[in-house]
């Protein structure tokens, strides 16, 4: 059975304090590892897709990386506006997604 686990469940950072969010996955034939940002009361907003181990993608203060077992979302010098829940999802060989439970990030000024 496909499984995606995100850690930590919640993370509190001071503004400017860099950190990483983890997404561990077990899927049959990975067909993409997806990161989303979700603000309270809104739908998930797409951030990145990674397809193969070693791949990296960046957007502003965020960088996503992928290994054969996990993905990391690195946040460099975060700002309060980066506060949100970050979701990862893994696509399998049948092209179905399994979502993790999310990491709720709070960045204090």
- Positions in the binding site for other proteins (CB under 8 A): 31-32, 34, 36, 41-46, 49, 51, 87, 89, 91, 95-97, 99-102
30-39 burial: b if 16+ Cβ within 10 Å, else e:
bebbbbbbee
Q: How far is the CB of 17 from other proteins (least distance, A)?
A: 27
Q: Which helix (H) or strand (E) holds 24?
A: strand 19-26
Tell me whether residue 27 or residue 75 sits nearer to other proteins (CB atom).
Answer: 27
- The nearer residue to other proteins, 42 or 68, going by C-beta atoms, is 42
Q: Please identify which residue in the block is written with the tokens 């996990």.
A: 70
């Amino acid at each position: 059975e496909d499984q995606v686990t995100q850690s930590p469940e919640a993370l509190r950072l001071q503004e400017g304090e860099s950190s990483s969010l983890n997404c561990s996955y077990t899927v049959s034939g990975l067909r993409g590892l997806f990161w989303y940002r979700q603000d309270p009361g809104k739908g998930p907003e797409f951030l990145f897709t990674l397809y193969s181990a070693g791949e990296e993608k960046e957007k502003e203060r965020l960088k996503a990386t992928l290994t054969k077992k996990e993905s990391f979302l690195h946040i460099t010098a975060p700002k309060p506006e980066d506060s949100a829940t970050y979701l990862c999802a893994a696509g399998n060989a049948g092209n179905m997604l399994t979502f993790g439970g999310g990491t709720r990030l709070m960045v204090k000024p």
